[in-house]
């Protein structure tokens, strides 16, 4: 794979690398504790993500064979990942053939340096951005500001976050944690206008402002939903029209993608278009689907003078080589977040990094290391709603369990817990010790029970259970004894 | 038809009546039920917590205990999903055990699955002694069995005197998740309270919950926080109906509870 960085500085950067993913809230337990008690948050999330989850189900049910399509999409992605070196070279060749430039960035610092180089060379001072999770991953805005270049988010949600110096908490609905009144306050301060919480009026304020800025911008930066290797095209799926403005109005268009966004061929695209919007929001298609192949050609009216595609690794090669390759199938639709009962209770902020929810619980430890994020794979009831929702069939619960195995094998799980499980499995490995264990549990628990048959306080760690709910006392006679008695009486019957 | 019951450790200790209901109901439908007493646990808690070595030992034990069984039936969806989704994978690299696991998996059924797919029971001649309203919670691990809640709800609705009212967010996890409920009790609390609220809104007296762990979680929350319903296993409801029909219906003239299966039942 050719390295075509214009920046010798970036390529020879020997400074210690920052974490692959920025972490905004490192303490999962503290964040989750607060969020889990926030009934307003739960109501807001039910009103958005839970509704979107039902929308997804309905939209997928309209397809003749949604399950078959998901299977196919997963297979296409897996095939691409299995041959990613080949498809990336093909993509590079065809983007160049269409008149674009291609850069491979090893990490987020390099990716940002490439963008800054292009901006400096082209004299770009104002950069308008359409929504891009990869640019959140690289913290591109901070890097641009540090380089004296003004970035401006133009997706309404991302714009609100930028103005408020906040971070997205959902893959496709970045500002889901803010209510209209809060946004009204933010805009009141920013635009110096009277307070309103009318969503229509707030959106209009942003629209008028952004429209003006689009015309002043030198460079547009977009993400990439799909990059088609066969044609060298990038595909953008957006709802607000800002993506199209960013990629057609300014002189320069820079698209930035994680390398796993590649798909082999034009004919593969409909498979993903049918699934992406349905899975994300229950729409058949997003309002805008832009397919961009190179810059404006001679004789064409619209489009930028230059088109640059930055393909970022940032740890993906390492993931590709390991047992978690399937996580790279992800098309960032957010369906697993919407379906997740944990996300619905702790919100996106708790997950700490740019990638929240079930897929984030895998990606964050994969990118940044397991030790610092050991709660993410553990804090799941393994209900499987994410796997059921995933349009590319990433078996998230199974991968979470694999990661728990890694936690055990790498010694991150504490000694006492290991001991408990050793004793527990030894007890269960013999009939007599199992029966003795069950009998002891029965006797002890029955000592603790109240007259109504319930235990209201358990000692030690099991006390976490009775903090929340009562614990049933075991029956006076367990199943084994009841069954033995039943059999005895049955044989004694005439 | 010979059926071996895998009762599961939670049912053994905390809900023996569910186990007995399964035994008697299967006998009612002409099955010869046995209970291999050496059985303990499927290994799910160890597996889910990443202790795969321990889980593998317990899985081998399970396979041995049920080696001579034609069918293995369990009233717990999650234990069945543990077996079906993970046993073969756990034995990977050991062809003999992999083969044994494959055969074991093929013979193992969750209770509702066994009633509907193998026995193909028809419950339309059964009736509860009095009218009762039910709702249904989808226990998550049924996803691992690739089934919806429909087969169970259909069975329930076949029984006389049953009224059914759907549960809002029925497919949303109740917050049990084994050790999850203890390790992340804050999150688990928010989840089970949501389930309780949705259950209370239905006006149902009983919520069908076909998994020992989920039933303990939801039942414990109902008891602590004033639930208007109680969680119950479908096996108990079906047995209630069979038992109450004993004197009313001519077909249950037998003495042992083992009687001719109603029309439609396979054998």
Q: Please give, one letter per residue, the 3-state secondary structure of chain B.
A: CEEEECCCHHHHHHCHHHHHHHHHHHHHCCCEEECCCCCCCCCHHHHHCCCHHHHHHHHHHHHHHCCCCCEEEECCHHHHHHHHHHHHHHCCCCHHHHHHHHHHHHHEEEHHHHHHHHCCCCCCCCEEEEEEEEEECCCHHHHHHCCCCHHHHHHHHHCEEEEECCCCCCCCCCCCCCCHHHHCHHHHHHHHHHHHHHHHHHCCCEEECCCHHHHHHHHHHHHHHCCCCEEECHHHHHHHHHHHHHHHCHHHCCCCCCCCCCCCCCC
The full 3-state SS of A390-438, as one line of letters, equals: CCCCCCHHHHHHHHHHHHHHCCCCCHHHHHHHHHHHHHHCCHHHHHHHH
pLDDT recorded at residue B257: 39
Residue whose entry in the numeric block shows the structure tokens 């069995």: B145
Question: Does pLDDT of A492 surpass 80?
Answer: no
Question: Could you give the C-alpha distances from B239 to B15, B33, B223, B243, in angstroms and in order?
Answer: 14, 15, 24, 6
* d(C-alpha A244, C-alpha A289), whole Å: 9
pLDDT recorded at residue B247: 43
A404-463 pLDDT, tens digit per residue, is: 999 999 989 878 888 888 898 889 988 899 999 989 999 999 999 999 999 999 999 999
* d(C-alpha A384, C-alpha A396), whole Å: 8
Provide long-range contacts, Cβ within 8 A and 24+ apart, for B96-102.
Answer: B97/B60, B97/B63, B100/B63, B100/B67, B101/B59, B101/B63
Residues of A in contact with B176 (CB under 8 A): 381
Mean of pLDDT values over A373-402? 97
Mean of pLDDT values over A268-272? 98
**Of the candidates A54, A62, A52, the residue with the CA atom closest to the CA atom of residue A281:** A52
| Residue A340, token pair as written in the block | 């997740």
pLDDT recorded at residue A18: 59
The DSSP line for A278-299 is HHHHS-SS-SEEEEE-SSPPTT
Tell whether A61 lies on the interface with B, counting CB pairs under 8 A: no
pLDDT recorded at residue B260: 40
The structure's pTM equals 0.93
Tell whether A330 lies on the interface with B, counting CB pairs under 8 A: no
Q: Compute the Cα dihedral for A109, A110, A116, A120 and give only its sign.
A: positive
Taking CA B108 as the corner, what is the angle to CA B103 and CA B110, rounded to the nearest 5 degrees? 160
* d(C-alpha A255, C-alpha A102), whole Å: 10
Cβ separation of B52 and A405 shorter than 8 Å?
yes
Q: Going by DSSP bridges, is the β-strand pair A454-455/A471-472 parallel, antiparallel, or unpaired? A: antiparallel
| Residue A296, token pair as written in the block | 């404006």
Task: Indicate the helix (H) or strand (E) that contains A187.
Answer: helix A180-191
Question: Does pLDDT of A43 surpass 70?
Answer: yes
Question: Could you give the C-alpha distances from A320 to A293, A327, A365, A400, in angstroms and in order?
Answer: 27, 9, 14, 17
Order of strands, edge to edge, in the sheet holding B160-164? B160-164, B127-136, B206-208, B230-232
Tell whether B75 lies on the interface with A, counting CB pairs under 8 A: no
The DSSP line for A428-466 is HTSHHHHHHHHHHHHHHHHHH--TTSEES---STTHHHH
Question: Does pLDDT of B254 surpass 90?
Answer: no
Nearest-Cα residue of chain A relative to residue B143: A384
Q: How confident is the model at residue A347 (pLDDT cuts 50, 70, 90)?
A: very high
Mean of pLDDT values over A255-270? 98
Tell whether A493 lies on the interface with B, counting CB pairs under 8 A: yes
B5-48 pLDDT, tens digit per residue, is: 999 999 999 999 999 999 999 999 999 999 999 999 999 999 99
* d(C-alpha A81, C-alpha A75), whole Å: 10
What residues are paired with B4 via a beta bridge? B34, B72
Q: At how many degrees (to 10) do helices A84-97 and A66-82 cross?
A: 90
Q: How confident is the model at residue A299 (pLDDT cuts 50, 70, 90)?
A: very high
State phi, psi for A236 to the nearest 5 degrees.
Answer: -120, 130
End-to-end CA distance of chain A: 83
Cβ separation of B43 and A425 shorter than 8 Å?
yes
Mean of pLDDT values over A76-86? 98
* % of chain A with per-residue pLDDT over 90: 87
Tell whether B212 lies on the interface with A, counting CB pairs under 8 A: no
B74 close to B5: Cβ distance less than 8 angstroms: yes
What residues are paired with A227 via a beta bridge? A234, A262
Q: Which residue of A38, A425, A490, A493 is the best one to mutate when testing the B interface, meaning the one whose CB has the most B CBs within 10 A?
A: A425
Residue whose entry in the numeric block shows the structure tokens 């960032």: A332
A383-397 pLDDT, tens digit per residue, is: 999 999 999 999 999
| Residue B90, token pair as written in the block | 């756990």
| Residue A114, token pair as written in the block | 């490439």
* d(C-alpha B47, C-alpha B58), whole Å: 10
DSSP designation for A251: S
Question: Does pLDDT of A268 surpass 80?
Answer: yes
Nearest CB among B20, B187, B221 relative to A482 is that of B20
Supply the mean pLDDT for chain A: 93
Question: Does pLDDT of B266 surpass 60?
Answer: no
Nearest CB among B17, B37, B217 relative to A469 is that of B217
Q: How confident is the model at residue B175 (pLDDT cuts 50, 70, 90)?
A: very high
Q: Is A260 helix (H, G, I), strand (E, B) or coil?
A: helix
Higher pLDDT, A133 or A493: A133
Tell whether A337 lies on the interface with B, counting CB pairs under 8 A: no
A380 close to A400: Cβ distance less than 8 angstroms: yes
* d(C-alpha A383, C-alpha B211), whole Å: 13
Task: Indicate the helix (H) or strand (E) that contains A230.
Answer: none
* d(C-alpha A318, C-alpha B59), whole Å: 33
pLDDT recorded at residue A394: 98
pLDDT recorded at residue B245: 79
Mean of pLDDT values over A109-136? 97
Question: Does pLDDT of A220 surpass 90?
Answer: yes
pLDDT recorded at residue B262: 43
pLDDT recorded at residue A55: 97
Q: Is A124 helix (H, G, I), strand (E, B) or coil?
A: coil
Question: Does pLDDT of B235 surpass 80?
Answer: yes
Nearest CB among A468, A470, A483 relative to B189 is that of A468
| Residue A199, token pair as written in the block | 């969503």
Higher pLDDT, B144 or A106: A106
State phi, psi for A262 to the nearest 5 degrees.
Answer: -75, 140
A317-339 pLDDT, tens digit per residue, is: 999 999 999 999 999 999 999 99
Mean of pLDDT values over A92-111? 97
Q: How confident is the model at residue A489 (pLDDT cuts 50, 70, 90)?
A: confident
Residues of A in contact with B178 (CB under 8 A): 381-382
Q: Which range among A51-65, A130-144, A464-478, B243-257 shows the weakest confidence by mean pLDDT?
A: B243-257
pLDDT recorded at residue B131: 95
**Of the candidates A445, A487, A456, A382, the residue with the CA atom closest to the CA atom of residue B14:** A445
Cβ separation of B50 and A413 shorter than 8 Å?
yes
Question: Does pLDDT of A7 surpass 70?
Answer: no
* % of chain A with per-residue pLDDT over 70: 95
């Amino acid at each position: 794979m050719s390295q075509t960085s214009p920046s010798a500085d970036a390529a020879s950067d020997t400074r210690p690398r920052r974490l692959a993913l920025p972490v905004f809230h490192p303490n999962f337990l503290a964040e989750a504790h607060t969020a889990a008690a926030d009934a307003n948050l739960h109501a807001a999330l039910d009103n958005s993500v839970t509704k979107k989850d039902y929308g997804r189900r309905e939209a997928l049910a309209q397809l003749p064979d949604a399950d078959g399509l998901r299977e196919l999409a997963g297979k296409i992605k897996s095939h691409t990942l299995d041959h990613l070196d080949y498809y990336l070279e093909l993509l590079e060749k065809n983007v160049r053939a269409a008149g674009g430039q291609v850069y491979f960035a090893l990490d987020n610092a390099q990716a940002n340096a490439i963008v800054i180089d292009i901006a400096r060379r082209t004299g770009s001072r104002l950069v308008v951005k359409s929504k891009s999770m990869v640019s959140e991953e690289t913290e591109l805005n901070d890097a641009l500001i540090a380089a004296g270049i003004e970035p401006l988010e133009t997706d309404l949600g991302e714009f609100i976050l930028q103005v408020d110096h906040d971070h997205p908490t959902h893959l496709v609905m970045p500002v889901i944690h803010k209510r209209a009144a809060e946004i009204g306050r933010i805009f009141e301060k920013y635009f110096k206008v009277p307070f309103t919480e009318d969503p229509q009026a707030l959106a209009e304020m942003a629209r008028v402002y952004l429209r003006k800025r689009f015309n002043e911008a030198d460079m547009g930066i977009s993400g990439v939903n799909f990059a088609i290797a066969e044609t060298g095209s990038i595909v953008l799926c957006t709802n607000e029209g800002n993506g199209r403005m960013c990629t057609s109005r300014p002189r320069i268009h820079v698209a930035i993608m994680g390398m796993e966004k590649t798909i082999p061929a034009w004919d593969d695209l409909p498979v993903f278009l049918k699934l992406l919007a349905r899975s994300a929001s229950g729409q058949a298609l997003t309002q805008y689907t832009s397919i961009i192949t190179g810059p404006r050609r001679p004789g064409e009216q619209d489009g930028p003078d230059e088109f640059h595609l930055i393909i970022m690794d940032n740890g993906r090669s390492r993931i590709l080589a390991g047992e978690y390759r399937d996580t790279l199938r992800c098309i960032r639709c957010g369906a697993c977040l919407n379906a997740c009962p944990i996300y619905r209770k702790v919100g996106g902020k708790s997950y700490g990094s740019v990638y929240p929810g079930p897929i984030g619980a895998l990606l964050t430890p994969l990118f940044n290391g397991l030790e610092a994020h050991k709660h993410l794979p553990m804090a799941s009831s393994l209900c499987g709603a994410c796997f059921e929702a995933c349009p590319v069939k990433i078996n998230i619960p199974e991968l979470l369990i694999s990661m728990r195995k890694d936690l055990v094998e790498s010694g991150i799980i504490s000694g006492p817990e290991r001991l408990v499980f050793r004793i527990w499995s030894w007890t269960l490995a013999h009939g007599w010790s199992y029966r003795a264990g069950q009998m002891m549990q029965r006797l002890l628990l029955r000592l603790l029970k109240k007259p109504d048959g319930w235990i209201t306080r358990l000692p030690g760690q099991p006390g976490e259970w009775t903090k929340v709910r009562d614990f049933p006392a075991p029956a006076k006679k367990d199943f084994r004894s009841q069954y033995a008695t039943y059999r005895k009486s049955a044989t004694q019957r005439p | 038809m010979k059926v071996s019951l895998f009762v599961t450790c939670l049912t053994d200790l905390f809900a023996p009546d569910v186990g007995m209901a399964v035994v008697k109901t299967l006998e009612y439908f002409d099955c010869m039920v046995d209970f291999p007493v050496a059985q303990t646990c499927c290994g799910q808690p160890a597996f889910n917590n990443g202790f795969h070595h321990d889980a593998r030992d317990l899985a081998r034990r399970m396979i041995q205990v049920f080696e001579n069984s034609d069918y293995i039936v369990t009233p717990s969806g999650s234990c069945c999903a543990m077996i079906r989704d993970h046993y073969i994978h756990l034995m990977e690299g050991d062809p003999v055990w992999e083969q044994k696991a494959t055969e074991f998996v093929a013979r193992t059924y969750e209770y509702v699955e066994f009633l509907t797919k193998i026995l193909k029971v028809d419950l339309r001649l059964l009736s509860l002694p009095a009218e009762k309203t039910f709702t249904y919670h989808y226990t998550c691990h049924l996803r691992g069995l690739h089934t919806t809640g429909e087969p169970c709800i259909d069975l329930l609705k076949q029984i006389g005197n049953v009224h059914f009212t759907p549960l809002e967010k029925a497919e949303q996890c109740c917050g049990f998740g084994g050790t999850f409920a203890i390790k992340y009790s804050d999150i688990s609390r928010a989840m089970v309270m949501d389930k309780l609220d949705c259950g209370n809104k239905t006006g149902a007296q009983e919520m069908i919950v076909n998994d020992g762990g989920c039933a303990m979680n939801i039942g414990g929350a109902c008891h602590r926080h004033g639930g208007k319903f109680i969680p119950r296993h479908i096996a108990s409801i079906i047995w209630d109906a069979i038992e109450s029909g004993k004197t009313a219906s001519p077909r249950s003239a037998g003495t042992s509870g083992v009687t001719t299966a109603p029309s439609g039942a396979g054998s």
